[in-house]
Amino acid sequence: MSAAPIYDFAGKVVTITGGSRGLGHAMALGFARAGANVAIASRKIEACESTVDEIRALGADGSAHGVHVGNWRDCDRLADEVYARWGRCDVLINNAGMSPLYPSLAEHTEDLFDKVVGVNLKGPFRLSALFGSRMAAGDGGAIINVSSTAAIRPSRTTTPYSAAKAGLNAITIAFAQEYGPKVRVNCIMAGPFLTDVSKVWAHTDEFKIRSQSTFPLQRAGDPNEVVGAALYLASDAASFTTGAILTIDGGASIPTSE
């Protein structure tokens, strides 16, 4: 393989759900710095537009799309809008997610369950089908799902979320089979990262003690630390990588004797 820069996405189009904050926001700016045009999707159009402004300040371009990925009609609209605006999509990143608190499993409501599964699993399924089929019929592309180590280390406080993310791991492999060889489908299984969502637990003494005693890297990750993996999986550097689930968690999911 040539030693020429492989993270050059000039002329490419990247669509990121949940792209206005957290890991999605970091990846959006990372791809923009690599020259990509980035379509930002989330429920709040104003936040998407603000992120597009940041992308343009970096010398790239972007588009804002207010969608709820748990709604299939919104997923259909997102695909139509992206292809109408850009004429193509080279990379889809299914990053949108939610893991709300609930009092107990017995008190977990059907509505909340459906929302969690809708955003974390149903949406990525539909979007992967919509974008993947168009990629396969065109010049090819890459799909990256953003899962969670909660998929392999579930707890009573993350049960529906863990189940949905485990499902996301599973469909990663299925879609890799469906749309290969022109479309590669991989998954980033993320551990604890310091985002606005994590502020509830990331700064607690309990988490600090646990991370320092059981995580090899002894801390939570910074959102920018996921960008390199996304660039790799989307690039020709990963040309023989598909159906893979890459864990990025500072070693937090490594089994311990404790």
pLDDT of residue 3: 43
> How many structural domains compose the chain?
1
Establish if 256 belongs to a structural domain.
no
Q: How far is CA 21 from CA 12, 97, 223, in A?
A: 22, 11, 10
CB atoms within 10 A of CB 100: 11
Q: Is 80 exceeded by the pLDDT of residue 102?
A: yes
Residue 207 belongs to a domain = yes
- Residue 237: inside a domain, yes or no? yes
Tell me, what CATH number does 171's domain have? 3.40.50.720
Mean pLDDT of the chain: 90
Within-domain flag for 33:
yes
Residue span of the structural domain in which 84 resides: 13-248
Q: With a cut of 50, say whether residue 91 has pLDDT above it.
A: yes
Helix (H) or strand (E) holding 145: strand 141-148
Compute the distance between CA of residue 190 and CA of residue 198 in angstroms, rounded to an integer: 13
More confident residue, 216 or 111: 111
The verdict on residue 6 lying in a domain is no
Cis amide linkage into residue 181, ω under 30° from 0: yes
Can you give the pLDDT at residue 242?
98
Instruction: Indicate if the pLDDT at residue 238 is higher than 50.
Output: yes
pLDDT reading at 197 higher than 50? yes
Q: Residue 76: pLDDT above 90? A: yes
Query: What band does 1 get if pLDDT is binned at 50, 70 and 90?
Result: very low
Domain-embedded: residue 59: yes
Q: What residues act catalytically? A: 161
Asked if residue 50 is part of any domain, the answer here is: yes
| Global pTM exceeds 0.95 | no
Residue 29 confidence (pLDDT): 97
Residue 3 within a domain: no
Span between the terminal Cα atoms of the chain, in Å: 44
| For residues 48-75, average pLDDT | 98
pLDDT tens digit sequence for 143-174: 999 999 989 999 898 899 999 999 999 999 99
179: pLDDT strictly greater than 80 = yes
Look at residue 232 and tell me whether its pLDDT is greater than 50: yes
* Interval 5-57: pLDDT, tens: 579 999 999 999 999 999 999 999 999 999 999 999 999 999 999 999 999 99
